[in-house]
């Protein structure tokens, strides 16, 4: 290479161009029409810089393309596996999932996290609500996940994905406390943020055409997804924005894996092992605490809302039957009607018990409420049968039994109402 500084060479070359378009070779002084002297074969600094840039780009591309993307496929596989389990547990639709299955497998639910189930901040990253949610998130992960994993390497990609996903879950916990939420969107927004930051931070190291390509693609995608996040009410905006900010911040701190870096540093390998261990421990806790619907092949053809709605419809019908019997008997007690038609009142109770006979709770808590309401109806039935079989009516005793039953039912009604408000995300005063 010519020993002169590039600036001096460029000046010499520019000054040596004559009117015919020939240059005077700085090595031998003869006129030549190209950057490679036709007389002595000397190469100009321009030519050598161009060759160097091409070789640098080639080395970068070869190194990046050769890197595997196993973790991207692992994360997609976990998403698909958990989706299949949720489908078996409670059915699945295009845009919905069984609520009890969703919570059972580890969705973000503030009331349960506050009880110490912090693992939900991790498991919720790998759960999805319906086929569309699963498809779009996995497609985005397949595209940008592979790109980030090739640029940063598997170990640093694991750190970026998990940390941005957890930050998204934490943001949702604080800013959407009443929502049951799940999905990889927070982590995916984090990868978008990391990629955009990479294009700026690595601009002196990476080929210019790659940097420009990233910027042309990533900023419109971020803008479109943010617009969608704020346009659709059901979307958890806090998780998206939290993940995006975390991705930008982490990309400033975490260096990408350079082309010449053949071995991943031990510290990053250790972090990757830690990330995978956190995932395994979190799902082990989710399976240990699982109280969702049982897994059945028949659920593959079921709507996720069928069992959910059927349960509540049966509970409502049974409560209405209990109330009808309760009101009729209360009137008989108040009037001291010894000849009250108890058979009609008992028919209402039997109607309520019949509605609960084939009802199925979708989780442990729903089963407990089902058992409590069944017990109440049987208690009511026992009071009525006792009254009907007595030769002489003990009104005071009957009235005491009736009041005690009423207190039991009020306790149930309050507990059941609190649970419904918890499920629907509404709290007292909302």
Number of residues that make up the chain: 430
Q: Which of 95-109, 196-210, 299-313 has the highest mean pLDDT?
A: 95-109
Are residues 82 and 290 in contact, defined by beta-carbon separation less than 8 angstroms?
no
71 and 103 fall within a common domain = yes
The 10 Å Cβ neighbour count of residue 182 is: 29
pLDDT of residue 26: 65
- pLDDT of res. 3: 44
What are the tens digits of pLDDT across the range 295-322?
989 888 888 877 778 888 899 999 999 9
For 158-170, the pLDDT digits (tens) are: 999 999 999 999 9
In a domain, 429, yes or no: no
Structure tokens at 165: 């996903």
Same domain, 55 and 119: no
Rounded to an integer, the average pLDDT of 44-71 is 68
The answer to whether residue 244 is domain-embedded is: yes
Does the pTM exceed 0.85?
no
Q: Which residue has the tokens 């460029």?
A: 10
- Tell me whether residue 375 is one of the annotated catalytic residues: no
In a domain, 1, yes or no: no
Q: Supply the pLDDT for residue 304.
A: 83
What are 55-67's pLDDT values in tens digits? 666 777 777 888 8
pLDDT tens per residue across span 368-383: 899 999 999 999 999 8
Indicate whether 394 and 405 sit together in one domain.
yes
Residues 103 and 120 grouped into a single domain: yes
Which of the two residues, 393 and 220, has the higher pLDDT score?
Answer: 220
Q: pLDDT tens digit string along 307-365?
A: 778 888 899 999 999 999 999 888 888 878 777 788 888 999 999 999 998 787 777 78
pLDDT at 266 over 70: yes
> Is 185 tagged catalytic?
yes
Judge contact between 44 and 102, C-beta under 8 A.
Answer: no
Q: Across all residues in the chain, what is the average pLDDT?
A: 84
pLDDT reading at 17 higher than 60: no
pLDDT at 145 over 60: yes
The residue among 248, 281, 298 that closes a domain is 298
Whether 430 is in a domain gets the answer no
pLDDT score recorded for residue 394: 80
Do 161 and 248 sit in the same domain of this protein?
A: yes
Query: Domain end: 241, 276, 298, which one?
Result: 298
CATH value at residue 98: 1.20.1540.10
Does residue 16 carry a pLDDT above 70?
Answer: no
Q: Are residues 38 and 87 in the same domain?
A: no
Report pLDDT for 375. Answer: 95
Q: From the candidates 240, 282, 326, 366, which is the catalytic residue?
A: 240
In a domain, 152, yes or no: yes
| Residue 250 falls inside a structural domain | yes
Q: Does residue 32 come out as left (phi exceeding 0), alpha (psi in the -120 to 50 range) or beta?
A: beta
Q: Which of 76-80, 246-250, 318-322, 366-370 has the lowest mean pLDDT?
A: 366-370
| 8 A C-beta contact, residue 178 and residue 425 | yes
Are residues 162 and 239 located together in one domain of the fold? yes
Do 178 and 203 share a domain, yes or no?
yes
Region of poorest pLDDT, from 147-151, 360-364, 408-412: 360-364
Contact between 165 and 190 (Cβ < 8 Å): yes
Same domain? For 294 and 161 the reply is yes
Q: Which domain holds residue 26?
A: 6-64
Selecting among 169, 172, 185, 229, the annotated active-site residue is 185
Q: What percent of the chain has pLDDT over 90?
A: 49
Q: How many domains does the chain have?
A: 3
Structural contact between residues 164 and 186, judged by C-beta atoms closer than 8 angstroms: yes
Is 194 within 8 Å of 160 (Cβ atoms)?
yes
pLDDT above 70 coverage of the chain, percent: 85
- What pLDDT is recorded for position 1? 43
Strand-pairing partners, residue 23, are 32
CA distances from 384 to 8, 191, 326, 338, 389 (A): 109, 66, 10, 12, 9
Tell whether 143 and 186 lie within a shared domain. Answer: yes
Q: CA 345, 350, 353: angle at the middle one, nearest 5?
A: 135
Q: Is 41 left (phi over 0), alpha (psi -120 to 50) or beta?
A: left
Residue 199 clears pLDDT 80, i.e. is over it: yes
User: Which of 263, 298, 333 corresponds to the end of one domain?
Assistant: 298
One domain, residues 271 and 325: no
pLDDT band at residue 34, thresholds of 50, 70 and 90?
low
Same domain as 89, residue 111 = yes
């Amino acid at each position: 290479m010519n020993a002169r500084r590039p600036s001096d060479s460029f000046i010499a070359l520019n000054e040596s161009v004559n009117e015919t378009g020939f240059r005077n070779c700085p090595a031998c002084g003869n006129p030549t029409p190209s950057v490679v002297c036709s007389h002595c074969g000397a190469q100009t600094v321009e030519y050598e810089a161009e060759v160097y840039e091409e070789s640098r780009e080639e080395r970068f591309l070869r190194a990046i393309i050769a890197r595997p993307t196993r973790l991207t496929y692992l994360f997609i596989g976990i998403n698909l596996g958990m989706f299949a389990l949720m489908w078996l547990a409670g059915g699945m639709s295009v845009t919905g999932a069984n609520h009890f299955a969703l919570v059972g497998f580890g969705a973000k639910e503030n009331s349960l996290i506050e009880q110490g189930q912090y693992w939900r901040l991790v498991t919720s990253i790998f759960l999805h609500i319906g086929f569309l949610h699963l498809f779009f998130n996995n497609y985005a992960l397949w595209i940008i996940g592979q790109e980030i994993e090739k640029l940063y390497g598997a170990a640093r990609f694991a750190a970026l994905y998990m940390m941005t996903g957890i930050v998204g879950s934490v943001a949702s916990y604080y800013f959407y406390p009443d929502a049951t939420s799940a999905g990889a969107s927070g982590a995916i927004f984090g990868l978008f943020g990391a990629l955009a930051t990479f294009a700026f931070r690595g601009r002196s190291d990476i080929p210019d055409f790659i940097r420009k390509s990233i910027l042309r693609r990533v900023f419109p995608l971020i803008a479109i997804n943010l617009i969608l996040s704020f346009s659709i009410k059901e979307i958890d905006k806090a998780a998206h924005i939290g993940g995006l900010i975390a991705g930008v911040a982490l990309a400033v701190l975490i260096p990408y894996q350079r082309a010449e870096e053949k071995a991943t540093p031990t510290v990053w390998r250790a972090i990757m092992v830690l990330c995978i261990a956190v995932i395994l421990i979190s799902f082990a806790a989710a399976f240990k605490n699982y109280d969702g619907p049982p897994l059945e092949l028949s659920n593959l053809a079921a709507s996720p809302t069928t069992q959910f709605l059927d349960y509540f419809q049966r509970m409502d019908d049974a409560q209405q039957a209990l109330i009808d019997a309760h009101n009729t008997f209360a009137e008989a007690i108040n009037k001291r009607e010894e000849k009250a038609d108890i058979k009609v009142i008992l028919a209402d109770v039997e109607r309520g018990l019949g509605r609960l006979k084939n009802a199925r709770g979708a989780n442990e808590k729903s089963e407990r409420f089902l058992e409590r309401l069944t017990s109440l109806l049987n208690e009511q039935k026992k009071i009525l049968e006792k009254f009907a079989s007595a030769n002489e009516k003990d009104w005071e005793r009957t009235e005491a039994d009736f009041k005690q039953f009423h207190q039991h039912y009020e306790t149930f009604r309050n507990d059941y109402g609190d649970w419904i408000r918890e499920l629907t995300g509404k709290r007292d005063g909302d």
